Amino acid sequence: MSLCAGAAILFEIIHNVVKEATLIYDYLKIVTRLIVILYPAGSAFMNMSALTNGVFPPLGWITKIKAFNKDLDLERFTYNNNNGQNNN
């Protein structure tokens, strides 16, 4: 959590440096907010899965979250261009 707080402070410093470039600041602000919410959300999903014995969220989603936490590969969440199927 302190890492998230440190990142937020750094992005506030960046905001002061690039006040004229609002597009850059807005992008960094959105990314920071997503990072701050996705960490506890992923943890909450894992806890919900444990409490419901894998009923919710589905085990496929939990497998993707665990794999993402190991190697940070976003390709697991994207669709193939050929047939629209999820990558596994």
Residue 44 and residue 73: Cα distance in Å, rounded?
A: 20
- The residue ranges of every structural domain in the chain are 2-54, 58-88
Residue 60 and residue 79: Cα distance in Å, rounded?
A: 15
Are 11 and 32 in contact, with CB atoms under 8 Å apart? yes
Helix (H, G, I), strand (E, B) or coil at 52: coil
Are 29 and 18 in contact, with CB atoms under 8 Å apart? no
pLDDT per position as a tens digit, 22-71: 777 778 788 778 777 777 888 888 898 989 888 888 888 888 888 877 88
Quick one: pLDDT at residue 88?
54
Quick one: pLDDT at residue 42?
82
